[in-house]
Amino acid sequence: MNDELKLHRLLKTLPFYVTPPHPCSYLDDRQASTVFVDPSFPLNMEHYNQLAKLGFRRSGDHVYRPECANCKLCIPVRIPVNAFRPNRSQKRCWRKNEDLHIKVVAADFREEHFKLYRRYMSSRHAGGGMDKDDPEAYQSLIAARWCDSELVEFRLQQKLLAVAVVDQFEQGLSAVYTFFDPELGQRSLGVYAVLTEICMLQEAGQDWLYLGYWNPQSPKMAYKNNYTPLEFFDQQGWTSIERIDLI
């Protein structure tokens, strides 16, 4: 069965809901709506693989995509890793962090990870709500009961500096979330995590790193445009472009 037929059948069988308008997380003057799969539906990795191809994203047990009535600025993007070319800044970041030890571990709760997560949230996202997450809320972020998730640890000797949450697809990874020591901004650990994920995929012979959504008016999302080429998703499917702001 080809991908187009799989996607068609999937869309006919999954129950979707659209949220009422709510304040946009990225643009202060906008209202947003989200389409998501009914949380009570028994999702599996086959569903998730196909939904990712349609620009959907996971947060905890929820799989969603922006569906705003009067705004289409949030664009799903992914990196075709075998065509990726690091820029000078990314090459410097890679060299700067060559002293780190990288290890992939199961997406289980670890107190060491949770403490780093709380430090990161308190420093970078104070007042946003997630800085108050308890262990249960944190665990729901990093893993879903039906999902193939892993954690990528970054250590300097024995000290934990960063953790990247990734979901494994048939032909790629989804970069779900990354948190790191907020006092080590000079290392650009968020950038290094993305570069590491690209390298992991290249070595595994896989194709895409899904970065979530890019919005041309949101400074929070601007970093995604530094990875070239990018592919963006619209009603015609995925399209490759050198810089997404050229759309």
What is the token pair recorded at 185? 């901004």
End-to-end CA distance of the chain: 32
Tokens of 181: 């020591």
Strands 208-214 and 172-180, bridge-based pairing: parallel
- The CA distance from 117 to 141, in Å, is 11
Strand 22-23 to 62-66 pairing: unpaired
DSSP line for the chain = --HHHHHHHHHHHS-EEEPPPEE-SS-TT-EE-EEEE-TTS---HHHHHHHHTTT-EEETTEEEEE--TT----EEEEEEGGG----HHHHHHHHHTTT-EEEEEES---HHHHHHHHHHHHHHSTTSSGGG--HHHHHHHH--TTS-EEEEEEEETTEEEEEEEEEEETTEEEEEEEEE-TT-GGG-HHHHHHHHHHHHHHHHT--EEEEEEE-TT-GGGGGGGGSSSEEEEETTEEEEES-GGG-
Q: What is the pLDDT of residue 229?
A: 94
Q: What is the pLDDT along the chain (247 residues), one digit of tens a residue?
A: 556 666 667 777 899 999 999 999 888 889 999 999 998 999 999 999 999 999 999 998 899 999 998 899 999 999 999 999 999 999 999 999 999 999 999 999 999 999 999 999 988 765 554 555 788 888 988 899 899 999 999 999 999 999 999 999 999 999 999 999 999 999 999 999 999 999 999 999 999 999 999 998 888 888 898 999 999 998 788 998 765 554 4
Instruction: Retrieve residue 122's tokens.
Output: 């308190």
Give the pair of three-digit tokens for residue 113.
């990870």
What pLDDT, on the 0 to 100 scale, is given for residue 9? 75
User: pLDDT tens digit string along 147-163?
Assistant: 999 999 999 999 999 99
What's this model's pTM, rounded to 2 decimal places? 0.91
Query: Which residues are paired to 23 by β-bridges?
Result: 31
Record the tokens describing residue 71, joined without a space.
Answer: 């705004």
**pLDDT confidence of residue 221:** 87
Instruction: Pull the structure tokens for residue 203.
Output: 């070595």
